[in-house]
């Protein structure tokens, strides 16, 4: 999560991302250079699943995150 993209007044959050498109529970194709936008309080309320694949970024020390599913997120870009 890139916290410098959070508006401290409204809580709006937007960040560029890459990952995989999931349809019917299956990875279908990679996406790159998309933008994710949602107010942070809605992001937290809409977490519907957390995977058991916690991964730490070796160059960042203690920075890590598992895969999470967040419903009702606006995604834009060319994919």
Per-residue confidence (pLDDT) for residue 1, from 0 to 100:
46
Per-residue confidence (pLDDT) for residue 17, from 0 to 100:
81
Q: Are strands 12-23 and 74-77 parallel, antiparallel or unpaired?
A: unpaired
Residue 65: how many other CB atoms lie within 10 Å:
13
**Chain segment 2-27, per-residue pLDDT in tens:** 555 788 888 888 888 888 888 888 88
- In the numeric block, the tokens 């936008």 are attached to 37
**Chain segment 38-72, per-residue pLDDT in tens:** 888 888 899 999 999 998 877 766 778 888 888 88
């Amino acid at each position: 999560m890139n916290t410098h993209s959070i508006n401290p007044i409204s809580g709006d959050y937007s960040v560029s991302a890459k990952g995989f498109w999931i349809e019917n529970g299956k990875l279908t194709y990679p996406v790159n250079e998309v933008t994710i936008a949602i107010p942070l309080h809605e992001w937290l309320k809409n977490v519907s699943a957390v995977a058991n694949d916690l991964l730490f970024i070796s160059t960042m020390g203690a920075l890590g995150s598992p895969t999470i599913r967040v419903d009702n997120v606006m995604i834009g870009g060319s994919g």
